Amino acid sequence: MIHPCIAEGKRVRHYGNREVVLSFTKYLRNDRICLRLLAVRDGADAEPVAVCSVNLPGVAMSENEIAVKTWYENVGMLGWLMDASIVSPPLRYAYFAGVFIPICALLMREDKA
């Protein structure tokens, strides 16, 4: 039988060659969800690996939606988040600073095993 690896009560996932856990916090400006990946070291959360979301204060979004960062170091992030059932496929896109940013439904609020 396969048992999921747990770090501080959170499910450990693999992002590239790193073991990571999800971190759900809030952006201070508007209380929207900030989603990050934190590396796992010695069974505990460690340093940030990636910020998965972007705050778009000028874009109307519902409480369960998240804007996914998909450029620079986050190329492939949207596909990874969808494959892991963390976010839905894009519901729509917001155009900001020359980039189309996918707005997705957040499918989970906490990362529990």
pLDDT digits (tens, 9 = 90+) for 83-93: 999 999 999 99
Domain for residue 113, yes or no?
A: no
Q: Which residues contact 15 (CB under 8 A, 6 or more apart)?
A: 37, 49, 50, 80
Each residue's pLDDT tens digit, 12-41: 899 999 999 999 999 998 999 999 999 998
Q: Is the pLDDT of residue 4 over 80?
A: no
Domain for residue 75, yes or no?
A: yes
User: Domain residues for 73?
Assistant: 6-105
Domain for residue 112, yes or no?
A: no
Task: Give the pLDDT score at 2.
Answer: 40
C-alpha to C-alpha distance for 22 and 34, rounded to whole angstroms: 10
Domain for residue 111, yes or no?
A: no
Number of domain units in the chain? 1
